[in-house]
Structure 1
């Protein structure tokens, strides 16, 4: 989970709707219980409205507009003339402003396009985990019996996800649900370690490393791997060691 100080740093971008889905959901979740941040959001929004409503805007009088246009250099004017030197900077500044705006827009677009498929997948997996906690929708089927959970997916998915009972090892199965990831329906098995839910997403493929790899995102640990023709992802706020122990049990 993100700290209060981290959320505060995201509030201006949240007000301007500039955050990605993972950060937006993290802020939404924090605002449910943090009165101080909710007040800060309202103050920032009110300040923005006051600025937009009361900021002075001026239009150039026709005489000034004509004078500026008349003062622009023509193609026949010597470059060393005083008028050329006086008018060079405003024109250049305007051109630089346009160029800078275009460069910034291009840079943002390039940054978004430069995100690798694995980075996008990581964001989607963590967002799915957060949504399941926010709307209290961890499971579509509540059951600790692997022989009940496994056949529940029949007819709902074009593949059969492996379901393993790890209750004896301290990671009881609590159910399963359907989700949508990377343009396809996927299976999610939900386990629990003490009070910490673990979302295990499963879908066909060999896109991930065979050796489990851990990534941290928005205060959650995410471990991904491939085995037996399936891709696996485990997401939880559980401690690193316990989560890797759980993954090792699934991976064997």
Structure 2
């Protein structure tokens, strides 16, 4: 025998014709002898009818819609700001609005491309990052040196036939920067020569490849904890990177340039 609790559970399904045949028979048998459930069923049917026939749609006031939109989008889009800046969008005729629309889209595209250009890192910044990555990789993967020697007359001939230029190989041991070897690497879209020096326990990678720019003074900056110097002498491009201090790198560059010019 079905009780009220079970009947109340089945009532919504009965109204929507979702009960099985057995459940329907059992529910109607209970309903025929229960005035309470019969009353509840009638009430539920009236509510269901009202929900289906009443116009319950509510149109929010313009002020409420504007406030909700502002909360959802606290920063106006570039397009919307341009619309607000150009009163002719609202005040002009159809042709005026169309022309203004073209102007807005063009201006937005121009400003967007300009911001992308300004946000893009410079070639020097990208190249500096490439040198940092390469320097770290050479230390971690034991690819610091291909030819191990403190003798420049051993390191310099090693490059012959492997690259299309002759890198200057100097030994700066008397200045505290002994040569320990060399290797080949690939940077800035080409194969470069790398001479490896030491300052105490710090490795100094010196990257060299041909360049025809006028000679300039060395510029030193820090990136990700490494000091980087780069310069040209009118024949070669030089980039040096180390985890030694800034002054130590300046000393290395000064010694190298002094010997290269002698």
Q: What TM bracket, shorter-length normalisation?
A: 0.5 to 0.7
> What secondary structure does 2:143 align onto?
coil
User: What whole-Å deviation, never above 9, does each CA across 1:181-239 have from its counterpart, x for those lacking one?
Assistant: 11111111000121111100111114586111111111111111101410101111222
Residue of 133, 157, 168 corresponding to 1:162: 168
Given candidates 238, 247, 251, the residue that maps to 1:245 is 251
Structure with the bigger RCO (C-alpha within 8 Å, sep 6+) is: 1
| Structure 1 residue 97: Cα displacement | 6.7
Does 1:216 find its partner at 2:222?
A: yes
Say if 2:214 and 2:234, in contact at 8 Å, map to a contact too: no
Query: The residue matched to 2:232 in structure 1 has which SS?
Result: strand
2:148 is aligned to 142
For 1:73-222, list aligned pairs within 5 A.
Answer: 83-94=61-72, 99=77, 110=116, 113-206=119-212, 210-222=216-228
Hey, what does 2:235 align to over in structure 1?
229
Write the deviation string for residues 86-139 of structure 1: whole angstroms up to 9, x where unpaired.
222334555557948xx9xx69x8278431111111111122111111222211
TM-score by length of 2: 0.57
- TM-score, normalised with respect to structure 1: 0.59
Report the count of equivalent residues: 172
Deviation at 1:169, TM superposition (A): 2.6
Greater shift in the superposed pair: 239-248 or 111-120: 111-120
Larger CA Rg, structure 1 vs 2: 2
Query: Judging changes above 3 Å, is the alpha-carbon distance between structure 1 residues 151 and 112 closer, same or farther for their aligned structure 2 residues?
Result: farther
* Structural RMSD (CA): 3.1
CA distance in 1 between counterparts of 2:252 and 2:199 reads 9
Q: 1:209 to 1:123 in 2, by over 3 A?
A: farther
Aligned partner of 2:25 in structure 1 is none
Instruction: Write the deviation string for residues 51-79 of structure 1: whole angstroms up to 9, x where unpaired.
Output: xxxxxxxxxxxx9xxx99x656xxxxxxx
* Aligned-partner Cα distance in 2 for 1:137–1:112: 36
